[in-house]
Amino acid sequence: MLANSGYAEIEELSRVIPSKERLAKGAVAIAECLQSIPCNPCNSACKRGAFLAFKDINDLPTVDVERCNGCGLCVSACPGLAIFVVDESFNETEALIKLPYEFLPLPIEGKDVPALDRKGEIVGTARVVKVQNTKTMDRTPVIWIAVPKAMSMIVRNIRP
Ligand code: SF4
Ligand code: SF4
């Protein structure tokens, strides 16, 4: 449980994980943000209005998955590194995950790297598809990785 261990169990994420049908349609943001804190950059980062308006700065974010196109702008905007984009339509066998990454060195595009779960344990291998690191990302690069489809809700980090 997040409050005790520092990482979220999959059961705690049922509120934020899109339906299987929506996931199959293509890229969508998943805000794994479960603690009420005064924070809302995700809301202003999304140009499509896909984050529902906060009534209070402490509200938990909610993504309107029908408005979200998986662009990933919110991923680097989140100071909690809590937002991921998952695209289960990436290809026949793999899902694409866009994740925030603040370590150096940055991974290298095209390389295979260890894939980590939310606990930081190695659960398989990921292929680095793209490294996005622009000035507007303000030192939170976004790494695109390909993983087996069955791992799309398990892998949430990498080790370069
Ligand atoms: S991925 Fe893009 S469209 Fe979706 S919530 Fe984030 S900023 Fe909005
Ligand atoms: S920016 Fe990140 S940490 Fe802040 S409310 Fe949004 S999802 Fe949660």
Q: Does the structure show a pLDDT above 70 at 116?
A: yes
CA distance 11 to 31: 15
Per-residue pLDDT, 10: 84
pLDDT for 3 equals 63
Whether the predicted pLDDT of 2 surpasses 70: no
33 CA to middle of ligand 2, Å? 6
Closest Cα to atom 4, ligand 2: which residue? Answer: 39
How high is the mean pLDDT of the chain? 94
Summarize pLDDT for 63-89 with one digit per residue, the tens. 999 999 999 999 999 999 999 999 999
151 in contact with ligand 2, CB cutoff 6 A:
no
For residues 46-62, average pLDDT? 94
Answer yes or no: is pLDDT of 28 > 70: yes
pLDDT, one tens digit per residue, over 119-145 is 999 999 999 999 999 999 889 999 999
Q: Ligand 2, residue 32: give the atom nearest the CA.
A: 7
Q: 148: cis peptide before it, omega within 30°?
A: no
Which residues are CB-contacts of 152 (< 8 A; sequence separation ≥ 6)?
23, 86, 88, 95, 97
User: Please, which residues have CB within 8 angstroms of residue 55's CB and are 6 or more apart in sequence?
Assistant: none
Nearest CA to ligand 1 atom 6: 74
Residue 68 Cα, ligand 1 centroid: separation in angstroms?
5
47 CA distance to ligand 1 centroid (A)?
A: 7
Q: Give, in degrees to the nearest 5, the angle at Cα 80 between 129 and 94.
A: 25
The position carrying tokens 């924070």 is 39
Percent of the chain topping pLDDT 70: 97
- Is ligand 2 within 6 A of the CB of residue 29? no
pLDDT band at 4 (very low <50, low <70, confident <90, very high): low
